[in-house]
Chain A
Amino acid sequence: METKRKLRWTAGFIFLLLLAAGFFILNILKGTSSIPAGEVLEALSGKDSGLPSHRIVREIRLPRAAAALLLGGALAVSGFLLQSFFANPIAGPYVLGISSGAKLTVALAMILALKNGIFVSSWTLVAASFAGSLLSTGAILLLSGRVKNMAQLIIGGVMIGYICSSVTELAVTFADDANIVNLHNWSMGSFSGADRGDVRVILLIVVPAVILTFMLSKPLGAYQLGESYAENLGVNVRLFRVAMILLSSVLSACVTAFAGPVSFVGVAVPHLMKSLFGTAKPIVIIPASFLGGASVCMMCDLIARTVFAPVELSISTVTALFCAPVVIVIMLKRRKGGS
């Protein structure tokens, strides 16, 4: 059994790596303007030719694919952390209203900055987004102290999300005309805005955060048995809970700052990975969720921008289509399994 398991895990990771690589390549090859593969390769080889097709590949498609990869992975890892934290399989940054909280603060920061003519750096956006994430998470934590029921917590999160969204809408409505288009596009969720500078910032935030999360695999595994058992096993539960909240907030804040709210990936991907690998061991599921989230987001982004080209769909429209059914399946399975 142990060897069978290892075989399954190895096969799973090879599959995910191929999947992620495949979608990454497809994302660079495909787009509104058709560019032959040879030209794409030339563009990637780094020769500065000044050709428009080379610029499209290097400055639009490549950063966008990289952003989808990194942010998708971040989203799924953030979802896994929240699910472990709340011992709730339907938890995720989007359903708990954490993305909407981040969206609100980012929108406010952008409106304020644009009004006063201040340039907003990527770091400022991430900071604003992080503050919003923490605020919503704090609200959810207050709620979770009072409600023990899984469904009630989710309903609470959805409501927090709605409140934040309406305040955001309000702020956008009264913003200057010039800002609206920009804000509206972003608040629907899209990977389109990412340039090379953004990708650098994303890389600097997401990679360390995911590595840190991976280093927490051991206490996470103990925590899956519940707080008391984790404590008995020598985990400093209070410190560990703070670390989980901070990491999941940083990850989802980074996603919201650059791509807006992306729906359901955080819930669905970790669940799919648990099914694929047949385990919930954090040491397997954390890297798997990263790869899975990356693949799902790259796939959805590809669909969003190519299917109805030149009209582009918002990323959440596509992710909801693929991931929301998974959430329904999880709920049905829980119902059947008792508890």
Chain B
Amino acid sequence: MSEKKAVSAEALSAGYGHRAVVSGLDISVIPGEVLTLIGPNGAGKSTVLRTIAAQLEPVSGTVYVGGSSLDEMKPQELARRLSVMLTDRINSERMTCRDVVSTGRYPYTGRLGILSADDRAKVDEAMELVSVTHLADTDLSCISDGQRQCVMLARALAQEPEVLVLDEPTSFLDISNKLRLLTLIRRLAAERNIAVIQSLHELDLAQKFSDSLLCIKEGEAKYQGTPEEIFTGSRIAELYGIDSGSYEPLYGAAEPQRTEGEPEVFVIGGGGTGIPVYRALQRRGVPFAAGVIHENDLDHPAAKALAAELITEKAFEPIGMAALSKAEAVMRKCRKVICCPEAFGTMNSGNRKLLRLAEELGILEYAEGSRHD
């Protein structure tokens, strides 16, 4: 608690008028920290962000920026401390990227908003930081979505904020631009000691690019904590109410719903070789069994999510009799066996026995692309 907080709020309710959309928010962000809001569509993430940015009055509670209450802060004072990047599209014509970034200096200029040499240097510096200097004289309407988000980030930085509020900064961007922008935001937070509060839709990215997470669901702050605390067990599936498919929190992998029923195909997997076959079978709607998979195997999460039946062995143990006989029983009922691994070692030599059995039964098929003697 000794550390100075950039943004804090206790028992905050955000909403419109007297109607709270989200309540019971406890927010605390220190300089240089990245806090990410996640939650289902319509949970009220934007409402919370708008309340923190003082664009909405809190329904109850107070937001503090740099230790001072938003109620007592003059608009210009807040503008020098907090800047935003929103999802709103800018449809102004004839504005170069430099013009847009220059608006960030608004809280620092005089009556007519004429930029001083110092302001212009700050604008150049902000564009330099996000590497959009080459776009300075290009019209905003002539650049790509990824470039536009970078320009808007430069605009927010020109405001020299202590707090940066970003509403879904990565929407409309392709994966390369998403990674670029989020990396940039993290770097700026660290280098300039800026507290960042953002909302993200991409769970896997939220997990990897945040210091802490705030999960919002059905009008309340559901969980709060480090990514390690949030991305465990079934918390994410519960948060989003996932009912068609599953979400694997460690890898951040979403899988579609498994095909239930009596397994028609038995897949011998291991070491990640099974995943493409599992997915192909799922797409065709074929119920399948997967085995024998170690609990720490790369194939395990996908097999667990997609297989109608899964036979596992404990981590780091050779495949034992119990698992083997169970697998055999399942396999005998299948019309086809697909073998994915190219090699067998000490730990999975049990799977070699399954392969032999399949050969004897005459139902063996090798997975596409795998080679065997």
Contacts and interface: CB of A to CB of B under 8 A. Distances in A.
Contact of B86 (A228, A279, A280): A228
Contacts of B113: 217-218, 221-222, 283
Interface stretch (B34-42, B71-79, B346-354): B71-79
A229 B91 contact: no
B260 interface: no
A236 interface: yes
Contacts of A338: 141
Contact of A215 (B74, B89, B92, B111): B111
Nearest to A224: B92
A218 B106 contact: yes
B109 interface: yes
Contacts of A1: 136-137
Contacts of B90: 224-226, 229
A233 B93 contact: no
Given A217-B113, A228-B84, A229-B84, A89 B78 contact: no
A339 interface: yes
Contacts of B89: 339
A89 B54 CA distance: 30
Interface string A299-339: 00000000000000000000000000000000000000111
A61 to B, nearest CB: 36
Contact of A234 (B92, B100, B107, B137): B107
Given A218-B109, A232-B84, A224 B79 contact: no
B94 interface: yes
Interface string B75-115: 11011001110101111111110011001101101011110
A335 B216 CA distance: 40
A283 B110 CA distance: 13
Contacts of B136: 1
Interface residues of B, number: 38
Nearest to A220: B113
B144 interface: no
Contacts of B93: 89, 274, 280
Contact of A228 (B55, B74, B114): B55
Q: Is the interface of B mostly helix, strand, loop or mixed?
A: loop
B53 interface: yes
B94 A226 contact: no
Given A217-B112, A279-B99, A283-B114, A231 B55 contact: yes
A87 interface: yes
Given A225-B100, A281-B99, A233 B107 contact: yes
Interface string B113-127: 110000010000000
A235 interface: yes
Contacts of B107: 233-234
Contact of A229 (B86, B112, B137): B86
Interface string A204-225: 0000000000010110011011
A279 B83 contact: no
A234 B88 contact: no
A65 B65 CA distance: 57
B88 A226 contact: yes
Most buried by A among B91, B95, B159: B91
A224 to B, nearest CB: 4
Contacts of A225: 90, 92, 100, 103
A234 B75 CA distance: 5
Interface residues of A, number: 29
Nearest to A278: B94
Most buried by A among B93, B104, B109, B137: B93
Contacts of B79: 232-234
A229 B91 CA distance: 13
Nearest to B120: A2
Contact of A218 (B54, B74, B86, B111): B111
Nearest to B83: A232
A338 B91 CA distance: 10
A292 to B, nearest CB: 15
Contacts of A283: 112-114
A236 B79 CA distance: 12
A337 B140 CA distance: 12
A232 B95 contact: no
Nearest to B161: A232
A229 B89 CA distance: 11
A283 B113 CA distance: 9
Contacts of B91: 87, 339
Nearest to A285: B94
Contacts of A89: 93
Nearest to B88: A226
A232 B76 CA distance: 9
A222 B158 CA distance: 14
A281 B112 CA distance: 11
Contact of A236 (B50, B75, B112, B120): B75
B111 A234 contact: no
A224 B83 CA distance: 17
A215 B83 CA distance: 24
A91 to B, nearest CB: 13
Nearest to A236: B75
Which 7 A-B pairs rank lowest in CB-CB distance, beginning with the nearest?
A: A218-B113, A234-B79, A234-B75, A233-B106, A280-B94, A234-B76, A224-B92
Given A233-B159, A235-B75, A279-B99, 4 more contacts: A229-B90, A279-B94, A281-B99, A339-B141
9 contacts: A222-B103, A222-B106, A228-B86, A231-B55, A232-B83, A233-B104, A234-B79, A274-B94, A283-B113
Interface of A: 1-2, 87, 89, 215, 217-218, 221-222, 224-226, 228-229, 231-236, 274, 278-281, 283, 337-339
Interface of B: 50, 53-55, 74-76, 78-79, 82-84, 86, 88-96, 99-100, 103-104, 106-107, 109, 111-114, 120, 136-137, 141, 159
